[in-house]
């Protein structure tokens, strides 16, 4: 449930007064409230966002379901079903009772998005080996990945120093040698150690915040190499999570005042009020959330479809929209195909495709811009990224303002 703007405290009090067992993130260190830490609580409250997650039985018992009629004076503004979120952005509704929307042919639009994403992944697996090998060879020859070169990162004198970048994903390989000595803060919201056994999170962190000069012949793949890294594990080692785990990570990143919050995750679900409230809370506090538009060749998914979250599409090395990249609500684009970055040991480096890979390009560049001026925070940072983006000859519904550029 999402409280009406400015009614968060009243909403929390109403839950307590109803006799519900409430776990408030403010009672936990750095507001790192995870579901497994909540004990017998029936409600998890995320005060930075102004939202809460309630168990299904408690919601039914108190008549607080997605079908409930809310009065004008209720501190609760909306109640929604909980969804699963994925690193590869397929969609399943988690605990709600609302049936998925269906198209004219009776096929679930959510299922269609999931199938489309799977087809894209299958094509990439079939065609990707030679492309990835070529990309890695090219990167070594250039000394930097094609994505960083396209975003004009190598000439930039900025490092991201003094800027906190939160990456909410599958965690990180905390002992990856490329990050030795870096300032790391981390928390898990999925009942598993932060250590990344999936690789998606480590890859995204590498692009956004990886080193300027990796060892040996490895090309530069990281952007804001001087930033402080906040690792929020909101997706499990299978690459999935729920609204509760994602909101918990967002609340934690906002409470820690991370100037840039990168989310390469989502689902082909409708706009969710809780995500919109989280984006609004971030902007109000001078922070910026950037999120992947999705990989289903369909309309932008959540949370990127919220008006308060910057949606990132993917472009290929020709700077054309990637075939898998979602469209519609798109603010900006980043390199998302054949992206080389860090992955967990022993492999250490790998190439991936997706709007998930485009998003940390934007997050890293955002950190560089944030370093240039203390006034570039929140919505001002959002506008700066769009104003300085490289114009592309494609519809704004596919690439937004264009390709993100470093200062």
Active site residues: 169, 200, 356
Distance from C-alpha of 38 to C-alpha of 351, rounded to nearest angstrom: 38
């Amino acid at each position: 449930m999402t409280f009406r703007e400015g009614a968060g405290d009243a909403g929390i009090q109403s839950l307590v007064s109803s006799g519900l067992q409430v776990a408030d993130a403010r009672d936990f260190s750095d507001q790192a409230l995870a579901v497994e830490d909540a004990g017998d609580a029936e409600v998890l409250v995320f005060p930075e966002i102004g939202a809460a997650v309630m168990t299904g039985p408690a919601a039914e018992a108190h008549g607080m379901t997605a079908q409930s009629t809310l009065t004008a004076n209720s501190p609760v503004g909306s109640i929604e079903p909980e969804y699963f979120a994925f690193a590869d952005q397929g969609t399943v509704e988690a605990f709600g009772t609302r049936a998925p929307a269906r198209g004219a042919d009776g096929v679930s639009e959510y299922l269609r998005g999931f199938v489309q994403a799977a087809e894209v992944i299958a094509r990439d697996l079939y065609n990707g080996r030679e492309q990835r090998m070529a990309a890695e060879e090219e990167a070594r020859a250039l000394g930097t990945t094609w994505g960083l070169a396209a975003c004009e990162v190598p000439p930039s004198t900025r490092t991201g120093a003094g800027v906190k970048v939160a990456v909410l994903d599958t965690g990180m390989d905390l002992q990856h040698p490329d990050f030795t000595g870096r300032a790391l803060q981390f928390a898990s919201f999925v009942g598993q150690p932060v250590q990344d056994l999936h690789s998606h999170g480590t890859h995204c962190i590498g692009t956004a915040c990886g080193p300027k000069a990796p060892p040996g012949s490895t090309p530069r793949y990281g952007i804001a190499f001087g930033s402080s890294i906040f690792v929020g594990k909101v997706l499990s080692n299978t690459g999935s999570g729920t609204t509760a785990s994602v909101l918990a990570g967002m609340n934690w990143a906002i409470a820690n005042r991370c100037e840039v919050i990168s989310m390469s995750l989502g689902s082909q679900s409708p706009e969710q009020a809780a995500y919109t409230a989280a984006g609004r809370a971030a902007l109000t506090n001078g922070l910026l959330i950037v999120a992947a538009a999705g990989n289903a060749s369909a309309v932008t998914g959540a949370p990127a479809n919220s008006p308060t979250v910057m949606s990132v599409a993917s472009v290929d090395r020709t700077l054309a929209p990637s075939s898998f990249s979602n469209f519609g609500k798109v603010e900006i684009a980043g390199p998302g195909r054949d992206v080389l970055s860090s992955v967990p040991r022993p492999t250490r480096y790998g190439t991936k495709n997706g709007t998930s890979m485009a998003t940390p390009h934007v997050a890293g560049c955002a950190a560089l811009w944030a370093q240039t001026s203390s006034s570039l925070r929140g919505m001002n940072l959002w506008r700066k990224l769009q104003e300085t983006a490289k114009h592309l000859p494609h519809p704004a519904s596919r690439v937004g303002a264009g390709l993100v550029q470093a200062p």
